Structure formats: structure tokens, C-alpha cells
Amino acid sequence: MAPDRAVLERALDAGEREGGSVEFKERLTKDLHLADGKLESLAAQLRHRVLSGDGEATYVVGVTDAGGLAGISHDDFAESMDVLSLLAEEADAHIESVDTWGIEDGLVGVATIREGALLEDDGHIVVGTAGHVDHGKSTLVGSLVTGRPDDGEGSTRSFLDVQPHEVERGLSADLSYAVYGFAEDEPIRTDNPDRKADRAAVVETADKLVSFVDTVGHEPWLRTTIRGLVGQKLDYGLLTVAADDGPTKTTREHLGVLLATELPTIVAITKTDMVDGERAREVEREVERLLRDVGKTPLRVERHGVDTAVEEISESVVPVLRTSAVTMEGLGTLDDLFGRLPKTGDGEGEFSMYVDRSYKITGVGAVASGTVRSGTVEAGDELLLGPFPDGSFRDVEARSIEMHYHRVDRAKAGRIVGIALKGVRETDLDRGMVLLPREADPTPVREFEADVMVLNHPTRIDDGYEPVVHLETVSEAAAFYPAEGQLLPGDTGSTTIRFKFRPYLVEEGQRFVFREGQSKGVGTVTDVSPTER
């Protein structure tokens, strides 16, 4: 959706005046505006504008000193935003949002500058949701991030990042995202989730964030669900089971993926407003049996309390609770859980991020989106991107970073971000590529060794079996060559795996899911340097 031009008109009408919060700039360049003491003087000017606006300033870029629309090129606008970000940091402020408009001679943009340093997001956890279609997964998340009850027709699910046709059909065909947070243990929610500025405000205000990666409940898109649960650096899983329906085949599929990837998981019994207490308890017992059948211990939060759930949740212990997005039953308990659950994993090491999505933004260029897997990335970092189909990597630069529409200077492991890249076109970005530090020396492979477990298969797996392998954000057909010649359902064994079409960056220890029709299994990479077939 194009930004409202009224934002630009209001800034131009306010004008650049002494004691005002609006500043006009045709363009900003690193060579001119960051040299010979210019940085300090321009930062002081920015600080004055911010103070004059009670903590907020507006910079209009691509206009003359008199406010005439001049327009500048995409590259010049991107450089101007880089310089403005440095000025803001020097003035103990940050860029909150940027809107751009195309005119005949180029771009004009409005940057909103806010007082205060950028978020240090040490408490950020990422939760992957799963569950059968119509089991209230997206609706539950929508009510959590807004604090609003649903109308019984799934109205709050529209608060997630979904496409208009998905809202109309009442189901999601791709991953969607949502965020809320906590400040001094109190929930910070979005007033108007349809406005990206409101989501950015949550990121700015909260001292702990909870990001949701909402997956797909409809059976035809199980591949997308697996991508969401395997390809993101998740801390926890949230599985929904509707009280009026109970566990389904899809519920079992999603639970299998969550537990196979060793993700600590919570099960929410949804739609309890639609059934009586006995039916809710019956579904609860079904879920408990299902968990015990796969070797997990259910923990009823209603009986044992939030303290015990926070302490005991693990790969083997699964908290279970009842919820309703209509009556808001259980949502306070989920708030309590998410507010107290710790970050999992340390994310130490050099920066890496597998690309999950890519898109192009006017005035910014190509953006790679994904979850930071390890290390830290900062705006201005020189990176490697690849592998491309021929196995090569390309030098790129991280121009800017956004997290839930909030511009940040850096992002740590576990953060869902969009990184604007200089040196590549959006059309050249592919899901499954990885971003690494410039000094890295990656070796992509077509073939690797793995230990696998066959969870389900109608007959046996022989040489040449070709499922889709889901590893990080890679979803690629691959051929299996079992060491013992074949694998039967329930078997665990070693196999050589060869990607069918192109190489990817694969590392020892990475876990993956493979699936073909009703067949599925899990595996762990054991060797990335086998003899090529």
C-alpha cells in the first residue's frame, strides 16, 4: 500500500522555520555532510529539531530549501538515509520510519526521527504457531497482540501480515508475522495493527519482545508450515487445537514437526467458548494422550500453575491450557508465560542469516528478510550473499535494517529482520541463500551425509528416493542413498543426500525435515564433504 501523501503535504505546509521540528534537505552525502566537522554541526541541528518537536522531528528529503519538489535518484536517497541515520545516532535519536513517493524527477521522502537510542532487544523471543485450519491459530495471536476479543468470526486474525485474498477466504497461504511486548512486566500491544508505525512503536517501547511466525493451517500448504517451523530461529512453538473439533491429522503432522525439531512447545485448546466444560476437558485428555503417545509429558497449566510451566517447559514437557479469543479466557495466562519465558540458545558466533523472503522497496532497493541465526549484523556491514545457482557468493553491503517496521542499527541472533542490500537486485535473491560476513570462506555443497529417522512411509526408502528437504529456509528436492541400501518406517540410519538442482550452504549439526506425499522424516547433517556421486 502506498504511503498517504497527506504526510508529505503536512510536512511541506509546516515548512522549515526557526524553532520548528521540520527540516528540508535536497540530499545528504557521506563525502560532504560527514566531513570537516559537518557531522557534529548537523547532529546538533537534528537534536534541535527533535527537541523543538517534543521528541520528534521530520526530515523531508528530495526537496529544495524552499520546499519545492526536486526529487533525487534511488541511490542518492539511500545514501541520504544512511547519513541521516548516523546523524540521528550522534544526536541520541533514531529513524523511526521512512515514507517515499515517486515524482517525475526521482524520489521524495519523509523520515520521522524520534528521541532516544535504538532498541537493545536482549529479551526478544520468537514463537512459531501451528495448528489445523479453522482452529483459531491466527485469531488467537491477533487477540494477544491487540488485547482485543474476537467477534467470533475471526476478525482479529486480520491484524497479522496477511494478504487481502487470505482475509477474504479466512485462511493463510503463507507465513505471517505479528509482535507484541512487555515493559516492566506489563503487556505492550498495538493500538492499530494495520499501521506499521504502531508495530514499530511496540518495538521501540518494549523491553521484551514476542514475535510470532504464524504458519499455515491448511493441508495443501504443509510445506509452507514446515518452512516456518524449520527455517526460522524459533524459541518456542504454540500449537492450537480447537475445542469443538479436537486433534486432527493436520494437528498430528504439525505436532510431529514441532517435536521432531526439538522445539519447546505450548498447546492451546482454543474456542472453549463454543463448548461446555466437559467437552473442553475431553479434548484436553485427547491432547494429553497424543503427547504421551510420542513420548512427551503434558503439563496442565490450570492445575500446576505458570511458575511450574515456565520452569518445566522443554523438549519433553509440554504445557497445555484452555483459551478463547472471544471471552479472552487463558490469554492472561499466555501473557504471563510469554512475559517470563527466557530466550533459548545463545546465538554465539559469526553473523549468519538464511534468506526467507525478498522484496523491493522504493528508495531502498533489494531487501532480504529472515531470522538472524547467529552473531550480530549492523547497518554498513560488508557481507557475502549466496550461493547463487553456480555456487558463487557475491559481495553486498547491509544498507539498513528494519525489525517489525522499526529501523535499527543492529540486530542479534533470533531477531526477525529485513536487511536492505546494496550490490544485488531483488530478482537475484532466492529463498535458501545465506548472508555471512565478508571475510567468511563458505563452501556450498550439492551432497552431504546425514543420520535420518523415517517417521512415516508406506513401503521402504530405496536408492534414488526423492523427497523435499526442509533445512533452514532451503526447500529443495533431493535424492536419498541409504548406507544400508534401504530404510523402513521407524528406521534410523545414515544416508547420502544430494540436492537435485543446485548447491546450498549446509553445516554439520543442522537439523532438517524431509517429506514426500504422506511420507516424512527428520534428520541431522553429519558430514558436508562426502565423495560426490
Report the CATH number at residue 487. 2.40.30.10
Residue 532, judged by CB atoms within 10 A of its CB (0-12, 13-18, 19+), counts as exposed
* CB atoms near residue 390 (< 10 Å): 9
The 3-state DSSP class for residue 20 equals: coil
**Predicted pLDDT at 24:** 95
The CA distances from residue 207 to 7, 210, 523, in Å, are 29, 10, 36
The CA distances from residue 251 to 236, 254, 281, 412, in Å, are 17, 5, 18, 32
Three-class secondary structure assignment of 214-258: ECCCCHHHHHHHHHHHHHCCCCEEEEEEECCCCCCHHHHHHHHHH
The 3-state DSSP class for residue 87 equals: helix
Pure H helices in 294-397: 301-304, 306-312, 331-340
Spatial separation of the C-alpha atoms in residues 354 and 435, rounded to whole Å? 6
**Predicted pLDDT at 482:** 92
**Predicted pLDDT at 34:** 83
- Among the candidates 62, 84, 115, a domain finishes at 115
The 3-state DSSP class for residue 495 equals: strand
- 275, 237 contact by CB (below 8 A): no
- 398, 85 contact by CB (below 8 A): no
**CATH number for position 104:** 3.30.110.10
Q: Please, what is the end-to-end C-alpha distance for the chain in angstroms?
A: 49
Q: Are residue 63 and residue 102 in the same domain, yes or no?
A: yes
Residue 98 covered by a domain? yes
Say which residues have a Cβ less than 8 Å from residue 277's Cβ, sequence separation at least 6. none
Q: Are residue 159 and residue 287 in the same domain, yes or no?
A: yes
The parent domain of residue 363 ranges over 352-437
Residue 533 covered by a domain? no
Residue 120 covered by a domain? no
**Predicted pLDDT at 218:** 38
Spatial separation of the C-alpha atoms in residues 60 and 12, rounded to whole Å? 8
Name the residue type at position 452: V
Residue 286 covered by a domain? yes
The CA distances from residue 298 to 307, 320, 393, in Å, are 15, 7, 46
Nearest by Cα to 533 from 476, 506, 505, 495: 495
Name the residue type at position 224: T
- 111, 246 contact by CB (below 8 A): no
Question: Rounded to two decimals, what is the model's pTM?
Answer: 0.59
Q: Are residue 294 and residue 157 in the same domain, yes or no?
A: yes
Q: Are residue 377 and residue 331 in the same domain, yes or no?
A: no
Q: Are residue 330 and residue 222 in the same domain, yes or no?
A: yes
Q: Are residue 310 and residue 363 in the same domain, yes or no?
A: no
Residue 203 covered by a domain? yes
Q: Are residue 84 and residue 170 in the same domain, yes or no?
A: no
Q: Are residue 328 and residue 365 in the same domain, yes or no?
A: no
Q: Are residue 451 and residue 420 in the same domain, yes or no?
A: no
222: left (phi over 0), alpha (psi -120 to 50) or beta: alpha
Spatial separation of the C-alpha atoms in residues 311 and 524, rounded to whole Å? 28
Spatial separation of the C-alpha atoms in residues 154 and 137, rounded to whole Å? 10
**CATH number for position 285:** 3.40.50.300
Residue 356 covered by a domain? yes
**Predicted pLDDT at 354:** 93
Q: Are residue 52 and residue 148 in the same domain, yes or no?
A: no
Residue 509 covered by a domain? yes
Could you give the number of structural domains in the chain? 4
Say which residues have a Cβ less than 8 Å from residue 509's Cβ, sequence separation at least 6. 524, 525
Q: Are residue 111 and residue 259 in the same domain, yes or no?
A: no
Q: Are residue 424 and residue 472 in the same domain, yes or no?
A: no
Say which residues have a Cβ less than 8 Å from residue 504's Cβ, sequence separation at least 6. 387, 432, 444, 445, 471, 474, 476
- Among the candidates 115, 138, 163, a domain finishes at 115
**Predicted pLDDT at 533:** 45
Residue 82 covered by a domain? yes
Q: Chunked in runs of 10, what are the mean pLDDT values of the chain (533 residues)?
A: 74 89 93 83 92 92 92 86 83 82 86 71 74 86 90 64 35 57 87 66 79 57 48 78 92 76 89 95 95 91 94 93 96 95 79 89 81 89 96 93 75 84 93 95 94 75 89 91 85 91 92 77 83 48
The alpha carbon torsion through 328, 309, 230, 495 (nearest 10 deg) reads: -150
